[in-house]
Structure 1
């Protein structure tokens, strides 16, 4: 199909969440990524080009032609080089990188058995930026513009109700795995590890509708909805893994320390006070911030790294977290992809030190994490990058749908409390998962 770089502006009162959900559910775009950041939603639809990386092969597609080949080295560097090989012009790339990318950074490739998808980026044929005052369309043709205008301003439809989901069964032996990790920590093998558990849903999910309902009931730092290749996902990210802005400022937002939220003013306040005074949670957060600071220092100009908003409390849906912001000025000999590699996977989704905790995750977490605890990305040609952490999400692929959540395990951890924490986090998603309509 033809495309253009022309800007088309639609000035109209718009419900951005409903609008991007309609675009995703319309069937007009075979692949798409929706990415929300403060003040705007971006809908990237239909791949003009894409980059797919798995454990065995790199596939680069542009304008209908695909080249394939083996690859070696570090996944982030491979993705950077592949993007640079394409005639992008001003176009942005959207997509995801999975947790298993870290195996190559931390010498854990032996844990990767079989073909595992590591990353999937797409360069959209049409990009729509939506806010409450209207939308801007870049790319596409006149028929796209007419269809998008109709979808953006269509009458709103009622949101369907969620399907019941049981999150309270320990089907993966989570408590036993936490106990095993506590024993290893007490032996001095590492300080902290984030172990997760997978909850199979047992029914087909309407992912766009689940995104809309979930976003109406969550307060994320960022949110996303995607269908790329065989994977669908929708999520409500509590933090940035990494961002690099137009001035080269690198930012990460480690969250560690969790209590339930949304149970009433008195109970929420009591939980907050408990969170702010719990030695286990304070230690967990402090060591996470220290690690994030060291990672930014590894790619930043000397003396520019600093912490702000230290150990504040941020509310994220059904939970509240201790949070801090760490920043530094990217050094001239490092790229935005280097910054993402240095900060991936997020310390709050892996552990401390990362090499030992990542080895533990591969040993104790069971099945590959894939997108869970990876990141959804927006990458601009000028070097801007934003990567948001994938935690509170619903996933669907290969006829299966699931949720996943984890908790930070340290020497003072209780298996029952960490299991309870996963339930609190799953509470940000599970009550809003909508089953697909039966045909």
Structure 2
């Protein structure tokens, strides 16, 4: 068992729990929370700054991947969301699909190394935990914490080049920033929620994103359990209003998202620091299947076929790396 995230390699597993209060106790923890809310917190006895160890990877053939939603079903789902927007049920919703392929081996360390080389990301992580393996190239920060200061950096707006970003992308980003401000405001010190950056352009391998930063301060006595309860699942992968979007997406998506769109990262309880990424650009393995998720944010101005193509764009480079 091991976890590599934030440039830190953690080994010698000492404890596993689903109790989030452990993150405010002591020690270094690897954290995975599925979109459905299943929590795995794994404490490790040895932690050091180190690169991810090398391992070879032979991925599944590109043609072996299947999708939980085909093109026609996804387009129909986008139309359903647009109808819900017209009725005032939601303003935005993030429709996702899960791809799966036979797992060629038993270890995702090699895939994690291939992702780090072929698709480097600021919040990448590779973990082998009891019953679960993760190889993530997430570019998105769900929550970071340094003492009482908390930050979230939602991504909304994706294209191949800056010129291809649409007015809809900025509008979507601003909607989600408002949602994240509201979520953090539930547990923040009154008046401490701010937006230091709105719709900043970030370049990543093969695409660009619009990224905003929302910051707040926690009052005394408020820790990780309260923070996650107020903000989970991440707003950028659900929709607005969040409760209505969650209900609608549950009706449209035929399989659980699992770690995709959940939270993946590390927490150092001793220093009260940590960083949890949104579980996008993420592969996970349970049993003999390798899985990967992709999705797009839907607004009234969404073109259903364009949104399908956005899910293809987000998946293309990652599947190319995984299927080598």
TM-score normalised by length of structure 2: 0.90
Greater relative CO, 1 or 2 (CA 8 Å, sep 6+): 2
Structure 2 residue aligned with 1:124: 44
Report the equivalent of 1:180.
80
Tell me how far 1:418 sits from its aligned partner. 0.9
The answer to whether structure 1 residue 202 and structure 2 residue 90 are counterparts is: no
Q: Deviation at 1:346?
A: 1.3
Confirm or deny: 8 A CA contact 2:34 2:258 kept in the other structure: yes
Deviation at 1:324, TM superposition (A): 0.9
Larger Rg over CA atoms: 1
Which whole-Å deviations, capped at 9, do the CAs of 1:10-45 have from their partners, x for residues lacking one?
xxxxxxxxxxxxxxxxxxxxx22111x3xxx21222
Task: Give the equivalent residue in structure 2 for 1:249.
Answer: 149
For the 8 Å contact 2:62–2:323, the answer to whether it is kept is: no
**How far does residue 288 in structure 1 lie from its aligned partner after superposition?**
0.8
* Match of residue 276, structure 2, among 387, 395, 403: 387
Which of 415, 421, 426 aligns to 2:304? It is 415
Aligned pairs for 1:332-343 (under 5 A) are: 332-343=220-231
Distance 2:188 2:215 in 1: 9
Determine if contact 1:241/1:343 at 8 Å carries over to the other structure: no
Instruction: Write the mapping of 1:38-437 to structure 2, written as runs, cut at 5 A.
Output: 41-51=7-17, 53=18, 78-80=19-21, 82=22, 89=26, 91-101=27-37, 118-130=38-50, 162-166=59-63, 171=70, 173-205=73-105, 206-246=107-147, 248-260=148-160, 271-275=161-165, 278-382=166-270, 383-433=272-322
Instruction: State the number of aligned residues.
Output: 319
Q: Report how far residue 399 of structure 1 moved.
A: 1.2
Provide closer, same or farther for how the CA distance between residues 417 and 200 of structure 1 changes in structure 2, counting only shifts above 3 A. Answer: same
Structure 1 counterpart SS, 2:43: strand
> Aligned equivalents of 2:307 and 2:323: distance in 1?
27
Matched-pair contact (CA < 8 Å) for 1:162–1:431:
no
> In structure 1, the residue corresponding to 2:102 is in which secondary structure?
coil
Residues 375-394 of structure 1 show CA distances to partners (whole Å, capped at 9, x for unaligned) of 11322224323211111011
Q: Deviation of residue 130 (structure 1)?
A: 1.5
Moved more, 318-327 or 300-309: 300-309
Secondary structure at the counterpart of residue 50 of structure 2: strand
Unaligned runs of 5+ in 1: 1-30, 54-77, 102-117, 132-150, 261-270
Deviations 1:196-241, CA, capped at 9 Å, x for gaps? 1111223425521111111112242210011112211201111111
- Alpha carbon RMSD of aligned pairs, Å? 2.3
Alignment check: 8 A CA contact 1:372 1:390 kept: yes
C-alpha distance after superposition, 1:70-97 (max 9, x if no partner): xxxxxxxx421x566xxx65x2111211
Counterpart-to-counterpart distance in 2, 1:219 and 1:330: 31
Measured after TM superposition, the shift of residue 273 of structure 1 is: 2.2
Secondary structure, in 3 states, of the residue corresponding to 2:187? coil
Pick closer, same or farther for the CA change 1:229–1:434 going to 2, 3 Å: farther
Q: What 5-or-longer segments of structure 2 have no aligned partner?
A: none
Q: TM-score, normalised by structure 1?
A: 0.68
Q: Deviations over 1:241-298 (max 9, x none)?
A: 111103x1110001101102xxxxxxxxxx30231xx221111011111111222222
CA distance in 2, matches of 1:227, 1:160: 15
